[in-house]
Amino acid sequence: MLRTILLYLSDAGWARRIVRNWRLARRVSSRFIAGETLDEACEVVRRLNQKGMFTSLDHLGENVTNADEADAARDDYTHMLQRIADTNLQSNISVKLSQLGLDVDFERCLHNIRVIVTQAASFGIMVRIDMEDSSTVDRTLEIFRELQRSGPNNVGLVLQAYLFRTQDDLNALSHLHAHVRLCKGAYNEPAEVAFPRKADVDRNFDHLSSQLLDFAKSTAERPASSGKFPPITAIATHDERRIAHAVHHAETIDMPKGSIEFQMLYGIRPDLQNRLAASGYPVRVYVPFGSEWYPYFVRRLAERPANLKFFISHLIRRKGNES
């Protein structure tokens, strides 16, 4: 119930207006958000790189409402790519298609993401298309397939284990040798499209991660594909049981550590990130930044009880200091 309420609030305009002006929320959100500017985010990336971790930069600001906003977001990403290349940061980028105009003009969105992907390829940088709520999945897959057909192979996609349809989507993508990141999912979905129980999501996550690793194993045994972006299975979770399952399955099918990348969010379980990196697994940290931090922040509170506990403890501590 609490998760449902928080996910509702993540999309509520009235709640956004209140919380964005609440200084405590802005301060606590800095645990999960690497600042509001690209300079601040690049400094976080640099520190993570020094610890032996890769990153994925995300400029927050989904669900734009007009073409000018979509084009401005495209330009923000091309500027980000130039900065990554100029400063030799070990980072790729993550993009939400609703930020590039998916809900405004499909063809414009396709053009914008193609511009970003083409520039990224020239720098040797991967672009990961984030999956958003279930209403966007078909259009996101259509754009992904079009990019696969017509462009360089530096485009990845995210699949969400809480959606009933993801098994079929993964089966359909298997022949494309796609760069897939598997996550649990963090949107407020109707019961007819998503597993309502955490145990069912976890079970499906384990099943899908095993299938992804099996696909990766079979791909690795084929002749090398063209290009400089060989597919790597990306497992995106902070759940140690899900990670243990993926590690066990990878060892069972004799997958080298370098072919499975664990991806986690900035500010969440840095201890686990460091432990996995020290054991030889590639670790990539998702680093969001920007002024439109509210929806992302609230979804993080909804995802894990520990995040909400962290927020409430700061609220209580602040109230205590003021009394």
Active site residues: 130, 181
CB 158 within 8 A of CB 134: no
Query: Which value, in Å, is the radius of gyration of the alpha carbons in the chain?
Result: 19
**CA 259, chain centre distance (Å):** 19
Helices within the chain (DSSP H only): 2-10, 13-20, 23-29, 38-50, 67-87, 106-123, 137-150, 166-173, 198-220, 240-252, 270-278, 294-303, 305-322
- What whole-number distance in Å separates Cα of residue 52 and Cα of residue 50? 5
DSSP SS3 for 307: helix
Q: Which amino acid is at 175?
A: H
Helix axes 240-252, 270-278, angle to 10 degrees: 20
Nearest alpha carbon to residue 160 among 187, 139, 179, 135: 187
Residue in the block written with tokens 């594909």: 225
